[in-house]
Amino acid sequence: MTGPAAGAPAPAELGALAADLAREAGDLAKRRRTEGVSLAATKSTLADIVTEADREVEQLIRDRLRQERPADGFLGEESGAERGQSGLTWVVDPIDGTVNYAYGIPAYSVSIAVVEGEPEPERWQGVAAAVCAPGLGELFTGARGEGAWHDGIRLAVTTETPAGALLGTGFGYDPATHDGDLAMVRRVMPIARDLRRMGSAAIDLAYVAAGRLDGFFERGLNPWDFAAGAILVQEAGGAVSRLELDAQRPMVVAGGPSVHGRLREIISGDDSRM
Ligand code: IPD
Ligand code: CA
């Protein structure tokens, strides 16, 4: 992990920019949704889709960042990576929850993080984040040392789960991975009061930050799926980590400190307390 980028703006300032970009990008995504969705391509599998809007929204964010922060790097789901010179990288998922978007389910989001250090999740340090869910009319923001926020209210993860934890998860697009994901669900259910699979990992993590979920776990997420949400959870007093049980598909685990710890124990097989 490297130290703060020399001459970098304060996290709060970067957070305000992330929020503005996420709001503007969210408005565009929502507008395009009302005009009708056109599929642009499939990616890793037939179920893994990209719409014209995903590409257009990412381009908007990338263009704005080129104007506002020309020396920063960029890592986006649709247009790839470009190293910068400032030590900061913007990690962007233009529409997280693309399948919801395509089906007209409003749980999709624009996810924007700015991170410091090498542009790899294990080596970067989160600086600021915004997750905007325009179909739900919600914006979650956070900046290092400044907390995580929604509608002027400071967010805090849950700490008590007397009736069991309300957990979120997600499944990969490749049908060959579904059995393994379902087996993991079976393993964690003893500590759950119930399970939600909403279809946008960025929203799931924002909900953990907001105390709407007690915890979250998912295998095989890409960095842009969780970069912003992880910052929100950490700023809300929670913990986020990755377990490399399968090097190809690391497991992201998030929650309040105790649920995060229990999930890690169960998922890594050290579940003697179950
Ligand atoms: C997907 C969503 C979904 C998760 C998938 C992700 P996308 O992102 O975050 O909740 O279960 O693993 O790929 O493809 O809609 O940007
Ligand atoms: Ca995504």
pLDDT digit string, tens, across residues 23-71: 999 999 999 999 887 767 777 777 776 788 989 999 999 999 999 999 9
Looking at domain 11-154, its CATH class is alpha beta
Residue 271, CA distances (Å) to 23, 184, 214, 263 in order: 42, 13, 19, 9
pLDDT of residue 38: 74
* Residue 223 CA to ligand 2 centre (angstroms): 9
Residue 161 beta carbon below 6 angstroms from any ligand 1 atom? no
pLDDT of residue 115: 98
Q: Mean pLDDT across the chain, nearest whole number?
A: 92
Residue 170 beta carbon below 6 angstroms from any ligand 1 atom? yes
pLDDT of residue 269: 87
pLDDT of residue 3: 46
Looking at the chain, which residues constitute the CATH 3.30.540.10 domain(s)?
A: 11-154
The ligand 1 atom nearest the CA atom of 96: 16
Residue nearest to atom 11 of ligand 1 (CA): 170
Helix or strand or coil: residue 128? strand
Q: Which band of pLDDT confidence, cut at 50, 70 and 90, is reported for residue 1?
A: very low
Determine the average pLDDT of the residues in 197-204.
98
* Residue 167 CA to ligand 2 centre (angstroms): 19
Residue 96 beta carbon below 6 angstroms from any ligand 1 atom? yes
CATH T-level topology, domain 165-268: D-Maltodextrin-Binding Protein; domain 2 (3.40.190)
Q: Are 136 and 234 in contact (CB under 8 A)?
A: no
- In percent, the amount of the chain with pLDDT more than 70 equals 95
